[in-house]
Amino acid sequence: MEVVILGSGTSTGVPVIGCSCEVCTSDDPRNRRTRSSILVEHAGAYILVDTATDFRAQAIANNIPKIDAVCYTHTHADHVHGIDDLRCFNKLKGGAIPCYGSPATCESLQRNFPYIFKPSEGAGWRPHLEPNAVTGDFDLFGLKVAPIEIEHGKSMIYGYRFGDVAYLTDCSGIPGYSMEKLRGLKLLIIGAIRYQPHPSHFSLGQSVEIIEALKPERALLTHLGHSFDQEKTGAELPPNTGLAYDGLRITL
Ligand SMILES: [Zn+2]
Ligand SMILES: [Zn+2]
Ligand SMILES: [Zn+2]
C-alpha cells in the first residue's frame, strides 16, 4: 500500500495570500502547502480522501492516473471544492465514481452539488458521483476501511482508517471509542494547525499528545498553518514524527 500526501496545508494554503512571514516567503518547497488531501493506492486501486480546493494541481503534480473511490471527511470548502475536476476521472473511468462519507456529509454534497449526483439533468460536461452513506466499517478493493468519528469544533466528522494507516485531518478531539479504533497503527496522519490552541483544530502540542497516547510506528502532522517551518518545527518533534509535505509518498 502507498499513501501520497497530496496536500498538507490548512484551509488558506501556505503561503497565505498577502502574508510575508518567514514561512510564507521561504525557499523550501516543503513549506508550500496546498489544501489537505491524501491518496491511498492499494492493489491497483486509487482511493482519494477529499477533493481539496487544489485537487486539479495535486492530480497533475502526482500524475494520478485514475480515481476509483473518494472518501469524504466533511464538507468544509477546503476539503470539497476541487470536486468539479473529478469529471476528467469520470471520463477516464467511463462511468460514475463511488463516494463515501457520513450520512450528513453525503446529504450536504447532494444538496450543494446536485448536478454531480443527477448528471442526466441539464447539459454540459460534469462529474458524476454515486453517494454511499456509511456508518461502520466497509471494504474497498479488499482493503478494510473504518470511518473514525472525531470532533472538529462543534461538529463530529470522519477520519478514516485504511488497514494500518489512519488519516485524521480536521480534529479537535477524539472520543474514547474512536481512540480504541486507532491502536496498532503503522502510520498516523493527524492535523495540527498552529502552536497556539484553536477552537476546531488540534495545536501541535495536542497532536503530539495523541501520538504519544496511540504510539503509531510513524506519525505525520498535516493541515499545517504558516507558523510551522519544515526544518525548524520538524527538529522540535519527537522521534518517528514529522511534518507532512506535499508530494510525500509513504510505502507500507
Ligand atoms: Zn480543513
Ligand atoms: Zn505567513
Ligand atoms: Zn474543516
Q: pLDDT tens, 49-74? A: 999 999 999 999 999 999 999 999 99
> What's the pLDDT at 118?
82
Q: Is the pLDDT of residue 123 over 70?
A: no
Residue 99 has what DSSP assignment? Answer: E
What spacing in Å lies between the alpha carbon of 223 and ligand 3's midpoint?
A: 10
> Is residue 119's pLDDT more than 80?
no
Per-residue confidence (pLDDT) for residue 122, from 0 to 100:
62
How far is ligand 3, taken at its centre, from the CA of residue 124, in Å? 30
Domain count, the chain: 1
Between the CA of residue 109 and those of 18, 51, 59, 220, what are the distances in Å? 31, 12, 21, 28
Q: Report every protein residue that has its C-beta within 5 angstroms of ion ligand 1.
A: 11, 78, 170
* Ligand 2: centre distance to CA 165 (Å): 30
3-state class (DSSP) for residue 194: coil
CA of 153 relative to ligand 3 center, distance in Å: 9
70 Cα–ligand 1 center, Å: 16
Would you say residue 121 has pLDDT above 70? no
Tell me, in angstroms, the distance from the centre of ligand 2 to residue 85's CA. 28
Asked if 17 and 116 count as a contact pair (C-beta separation under 8 A), the reply is: no
Which ligand has the nearest atom to the CA of 24? Answer: 2
With a threshold of 0.85, does the pTM exceed it? yes
Report the DSSP pairing between strands 155-162 and 143-152. Answer: antiparallel
Parent domain of 163: 2-251
Taking the CA of 10 as reference, the closest ligand is 1
Contacts of 40 (CB under 8 A, 6+ apart): 1, 2, 3, 46, 47, 48, 49, 143, 162, 165
For residues 24 and 225, give the distance between their C-alpha atoms in angstroms, rounded to a whole number. Answer: 10
Distance 186 CA to ligand 2 centre (A): 32
Q: In the chain, which residue ranges form alpha helices assigned H by DSSP?
A: 55-61, 77-80, 87-93, 103-112, 114-117, 176-179, 204-214, 230-236
- Residue 93: give its domain's CATH number: 3.60.15.10
pLDDT digits (tens, 9 = 90+) for 125-171: 899 999 999 999 999 999 999 999 999 999 999 999 999 999 999 99
pLDDT over 80 (residue 8): yes
Ligand nearest to the CA of 12: 1
- In angstroms, the CA 202 to CA 26 distance is 24
Mean pLDDT across the chain:
97
Gyration radius of the chain's alpha carbons: 17
Q: Cell 496498532 belongs to which residue?
A: 184
Range 35-49 average pLDDT: 98
Question: What's the average model confidence in pLDDT over 181-186?
Answer: 98
pLDDT, mean of residues 200-227: 98
